[in-house]
Amino acid sequence: MLILLYILFGISLVYIAATEKFKHYIQVYTIQGILLFGMAIIELKSFSVINLLFILAETIIFKSIVVPKLLRKILQRTGIHNVHKMSLQGNYTVMIMLVLLGISLVLAHVLHVPYVGEVYMMIAYLTLFTGLLLITVRKLLFGHLVGFLIIENAVFLFSIAIGNEFPLLVNTGILLDIFVAVLIMSMFLTRIGHKMGGFEVETLSKLKD
């Protein structure tokens, strides 16, 4: 079961890197939230109702419901639908993803982490690389925002790997931080569009010496 979740998560990463439609980004991100919930529940070392509720809030409610809703709202307000024409095309990103998959595989094998499966670590590395890839190759700021969210998914995977269960207050702090970050970024993204007349990365290159 766990292997199936890993494979599905890996496929979702390749798809999000390759797709050129922003609504697909949101759909894939929603699915990733559900997959993360499954992984977290199976990997949970000690069961408690509080932990379960928290994982539910962090994955299903936050990643699969609240954030996608926020992202959809941004797309409605900004009227952007596809990645920029000048962005790296899907077939090239798939090729890069294959290379990143290879690197993740090697890293997971060479840097073996005790008590954590190699496949799991490979997925965690690949998630981090996918987030960084989106930030690097996408020319619209919305793509960067999704890249940041994918990196946050990598943070979630690494925190499950450590198996450390923090008190509710600390967990709430982490969740609140990420939520406010996404909220503020969304707010500024919309403002940038209105003020600068575009969402391209190039619009943010006025400040230099």
> By the criterion CB under 8 A, which residues form the site for other proteins?
45-46, 111, 113-116, 128, 135, 141, 144, 148, 151-152, 154-155, 158-159, 161-166, 170, 173-174, 177, 180-181, 184-185, 188-189, 191-192, 195-196, 203-204, 206-207, 209
- What is the rounded distance in angstroms from the CA atom of residue 68 to the CA atom of residue 182? 11
> How many residues appear in the chain?
209
Nearer to other proteins, 91 or 205 (CB): 205
* Structure token digits, residue 69: 């809703």
Nearer to other proteins, 83 or 90 (CB): 83
Nearer to other proteins, 23 or 195 (CB): 195
Helix axes 22-43, 49-56, angle to 10 degrees: 170
Nearer to other proteins, 45 or 89 (CB): 45
Smallest distance from the beta carbon of 91 to other proteins, in angstroms? 27
Smallest distance from the beta carbon of 15 to other proteins, in angstroms? 22
- What is the rounded distance in angstroms from the CA atom of residue 64 to the CA atom of residue 28? 9
Smallest distance from the beta carbon of 145 to other proteins, in angstroms? 8
- What is the rounded distance in angstroms from the CA atom of residue 177 to the CA atom of residue 110? 33
Q: H helices of the chain, where?
A: 2-18, 22-43, 49-56, 67-78, 90-110, 118-137, 141-162, 168-196
Smallest distance from the beta carbon of 164 to other proteins, in angstroms? 4
Nearer to other proteins, 21 or 112 (CB): 112
Match 């496949």 to its residue by tokens.
Answer: 119
